[in-house]
Amino acid sequence: MRGVSIPSHQFAATANSYLQPNSSVDPSIMQELTFSCRAFTRVVLRLRSQAEAEAKYAARSNGSPSSLQPHSRTNTFTSHRLPSKWASQTSINTSRVSSRAPSPAPSSRYNASMSTAPAPFQSPLFRLRRAPLLQVFVPSPEGDWLSDQSILECEAELKRAGVLHLMRAGDVVWDVAVGDEANVGRLVWDGNYLIDLDYTYSRVGDAPRYLPTLAFPPSYFHRVIRTMGTGNPIVRIDISPWADQIHANLQLIQDRMKTDSPQGGRHMVVRWVHRSSFVVRPPSGSKSIRLPMPSTAGPGPSPSGAWIVDPGWYGTVVVETEGTNEGLADLKARCKGPMVQRGPVTPEYAQWEERRLVFRILRERSRPGEICIRVVDEKERIIPL
């Protein structure tokens, strides 16, 4: 309760005061904040387990009221329920089936619960198919940018919290002792270690380049890793498996888009773009589309630990680039996939391999079943080669 009631800026203010010479901050306060973050992290991962279990139960019962026997639901979740003080906070929105006051008779409430399907899981601390935002409290003597030693201490805090075995690739860990500006203090678990965000195309950071985007839902990091400006995050996708579809559907069309003027207004701009699409089809049966990963990669984000294409990508993916000859050549080169490299890897080849995967998700044009992405060229790079 302390972890969710203390404003995030107070964690950083207390840590900064503690790091000052001749600090008057009581060490016991630092210990309490550390314990609060450990408890917060345990609860968030506990909520993820509960949300996934309830979603699996709902899918198995297909929402049929006749199949929702009270004893089966109790047997499934009783041993893992949160204490009542937590349950009252996390299920406040899911326990109400109408705006009317509940009947005082217990039997009436029991009969009502038997006649309706279970409400979907809701919690202010976790959402299904979104990255959990875990917390650690590790004061950083180096300031906003965490040193290697501070990152190792963050990993040690996760171990002390007893949650390493529950974490998955893509989980976001936030050192609240650093601050709450942009993505300061945010790290991503890659299956084995905590790694920094990628700042190649963003001043506030994007999801690390080492994590294949297709392994996560399209909106997995939305609002967990903040995106400034247009709000369209960087993603890394290898489109070469769908090269034939992209070539067959390629068109040069006029596109209208709204843009901001230097005076603060918005006006419509007409431009030419090369646009195509491909379809990510779900495999037949219970199989999954596996992603190629190096042998050194840790467990994937799926509950089984595999690196597979997330079902959120099943459907149409629209890809576009500038309506120039250069833009068309760039898109076609990305469709060819990795170049055949004989001998040692050259710096030019490594740079191309890193660049050919970079796109942006266009949130305003995307919807379930149709995701729009745009080619990112060298003009958008912030960190020079």
pLDDT in tens, 234-255: 999 999 999 999 999 999 999 8
Q: For 110-114, 224-228, 333-337, which range has the lowest pLDDT when averaged over its residues?
A: 110-114
pLDDT at 352: 78
pLDDT at 345: 67
Strand partners, 322: 273
pLDDT on residue 346: 74
At residue 107, the pLDDT reads: 45
Query: How far is the C-alpha of 216 from the C-alpha of 132, rounded, in Å?
Result: 13
**In whole angstroms, how far apart are CA 174 and each of 31, 39, 142?**
17, 14, 16
Does residue 286 register a pLDDT over 80? no
Average pLDDT over residues 2-20: 89
Summarize pLDDT for 54-65 with one digit per residue, the tens. Answer: 998 888 876 544
Using the predicted structure, report yes or no on whether residue 319 has a pLDDT greater than 70: yes
The whole-chain average pLDDT of the chain stands at 83
- At 120 the pLDDT is 77
Cα-based distances in Å from 237 to 302, 323, 351: 18, 21, 15
Q: In terms of DSSP bridges, do strands 315-322 and 370-375 run parallel, antiparallel, or are they unpaired? A: parallel
DSSP label at residue 270: E
Q: Which of 67-76, 86-95, 246-255, 344-353 has the lowest mean pLDDT?
A: 67-76
* Residue 240 contacts residue 201 (beta carbons within 8 Å): no
Average pLDDT (282-309) is 87
| Residue whose structure tokens are 């006649």 | 115
| pLDDT of res. 260 | 65
pTM of the model: 0.80
- Dihedral sign, Cα of residue 248, residue 253, residue 257, residue 260: positive
Q: Find the length of the chain.
A: 385
Q: Which residues have CB under 8 Å from 351's CB, separation 6+?
A: 385
- Percentage of the chain modeled with pLDDT above 90: 58
Q: How far apart are CA 142 and CA 322, in angstroms?
A: 42
pLDDT per residue as tens digits for the range 143-184: 888 999 999 999 999 999 999 999 999 999 999 999 989 899
pLDDT tens track for 38-77: 999 999 999 999 999 999 888 887 654 433 333 333 333 3
